[in-house]
Structure 1
Amino acid sequence: MKLLGMIGGTSWHSTVEYYRMINELAGAKFGGSQNPPLLLYSLNIQLMREQNMEKIQAGYLEISRKLETAGAQAIIICANTPHMIYEYVQPKINIPILHIAEAIGKEAQKQGLKNLGLLGTKPTMTMDFIPGYLDQNFGIQTVYADRKDFGEIHRYISEDLTQGKFTPDAKTYFINQMKKLEEKGADGIILGCTELPMLLSQEDFHRPLLDTTKLHAQLAVEFILS
């Protein structure tokens, strides 16, 4: 099995989910008799909250180099939003970063989905690191929430979900947002924050929900066993 480096901490709740899923998926391949070697660097979420792009890029580059030096053969970033650093960090290290949009695109392609609604933090919904990757590599178009709703979507994620608060009010809010995305033409929904699959499940909506945490963990295990 290949050694995978994990960058977590944004938030630690979703990092726990990544660690659990990677071990469970790998264990399913070996009947539970083995678990994969993993290197986990859990950073302080304050790095992201400061919203200083240069500092965020420098921080993720430093961590990535530490994991590479420690022997990691690839890196997985255990959250959606930090993939904003992908284009900056990837050319500066010698091992691949397993991009979360690669996992999303493969699953959408498998299900025949062409127009995906995107829910996530404000950077995830306004920057191009997921929509651009999906368009360029899979020909998949992104359907966006109303711009006036970006602030409230982000608030629910940053103030509630990343703090471990999964309330009925938050669930109702995001189900209504998914309905709006469907009305705009979305044939599937990207749960583009790793806490959203902890709040919502496929039973909550009739369109396919793409659980980015699970799909990304599956991509990680494919690499580990490749």
Structure 2
Amino acid sequence: MQTIGLIGGMSWESSLVYYRDLNLGVQQRLGGLSSPKLVLSTVDFAELTHLEDDEKWDQIGTLLADAAAGVERAGADFLLLCTTTFHKVADQVADAVDIPLLHLADVVSDACTAAGMDKVAFIGTTVAMNDPFFISRISDGGPEVIVPDARHHEWLNDAIYGELVHGRVVDRTRRRVVDLIDELWDAGAGGVLLGCTELELLVRQADTELPVFPCTTLHVQAALDRALA
């Protein structure tokens, strides 16, 4: 079994999901008392969000690259960033280590292609919806990606940072997100990407008829495939 390296803390709710699901996944696959070999480094989310607000992405990249180097020194065989938004600096992080980075966008693109998707919708933070760093990587060899109309971006971002990263799951917000997913379905999306770990706390497949691609779950499964290969 290979050792999985995790860079977390963006938010700690996201790290919790990764840690829990990696453990559950190994237990389901191997049984008994089996658990994954993990190295986890968490960062100060407040520091990163302040830098994000000031658009100091080079400094964010340096912080996450330093964390990745520490995870590598601790014995990780490959690396995951437990976040979507901060994949904006994934190349800077990958360049700082000699172990592979399992990029979330590549995992999601492969899953959509395997499901026969030609067009999918992506919902996440404002940065991830507005900046092409993540969506373009999915579209390269994968499906076309559409995002909600710009008028929805601010409230969705506020719901993520104001509620979900604090573990607050609000029914009113769920209903509004499901309505938004229906709008994207009407716009031609064949599936919806939950492009933020915390959104998986809010929306489940049972909430909508549109196929849901939970990005964190896909990332975890790909990490398990690699670690147990």
Fold-level match, TM-score > 0.5? Answer: yes
Specify the SS of the correspondent of 2:197.
coil
Distance 2:95 2:190 in 1: 34
Distance 1:192 1:65, change over 3 A: same
Alignment coverage as a number of residue pairs: 225
Identify the residue that residue 185 of structure 1 maps to in structure 2: 188
- C-alpha deviation, 1:21, in angstroms: 0.7
- C-alpha deviation, 1:97, in angstroms: 1.0
- C-alpha deviation, 1:47, in angstroms: 2.8
Superposition misfits of 4+ residues, deviation over 6 angstroms: none
Unpaired segments ≥5 residues, structure 1: none
**Which structure would you say has the larger RCO, counting Cα contacts within 8 Å and 6 or more residues apart?**
1
Tell me the TM-score normalized by structure 2: 0.94
Aligned Cα root-mean-square deviation (Å): 1.2
Distance 1:6 1:177 in 2: 31
Identify the residue that residue 139 of structure 1 maps to in structure 2: 142
The superposition leaves residues 58-116 of structure 1 with CA deviations (integer Å, 9 ceiling, x where unpaired) of 10111111111121111111121111111222123211111111221122122111111
1:221 to 212, 215, 224: 224
Specify the SS of the correspondent of 2:133.
coil
The superposition leaves residues 139-174 of structure 1 with CA deviations (integer Å, 9 ceiling, x where unpaired) of 311111101211111111111111111001110111
Percent of aligned positions that are identical = 27
- C-alpha deviation, 1:56, in angstroms: 0.7
- C-alpha deviation, 1:205, in angstroms: 0.5
Alignment of 1:45-84 (within 5 A): 45-50=45-50, 51=52, 52-84=56-88
Q: Is the 8 A contact 2:23 2:36 kept in 1?
A: yes
Q: Is the 8 A contact 2:112 2:142 kept in 1?
A: no
Q: Is the 8 A contact 2:113 2:142 kept in 1?
A: no
Tell me the TM-score normalized by structure 1: 0.96
Identify the residue that residue 11 of structure 1 maps to in structure 2: 11
Identify the residue that residue 98 of structure 2 maps to in structure 1: 94
Specify the SS of the correspondent of 1:195.
helix
Is 1:176 paired with 2:179? yes
Is 1:200 paired with 2:212? no
Identify the residue that residue 34 of structure 2 maps to in structure 1: 34
More divergent stretch after superposition (56-65 vs 85-94): 85-94
Specify the SS of the correspondent of 2:206.
helix
Distance 2:127 2:135 in 1: 12
Q: Is the 8 A contact 2:9 2:42 kept in 1?
A: yes
Specify the SS of the correspondent of 1:40.
strand
The superposition leaves residues 183-217 of structure 1 with CA deviations (integer Å, 9 ceiling, x where unpaired) of 21111000001011111110100011101111110
Alignment of 1:109-188 (within 5 A): 109-136=113-140, 138-188=141-191
Distance 2:138 2:87 in 1: 13
Unpaired segments ≥5 residues, structure 2: none
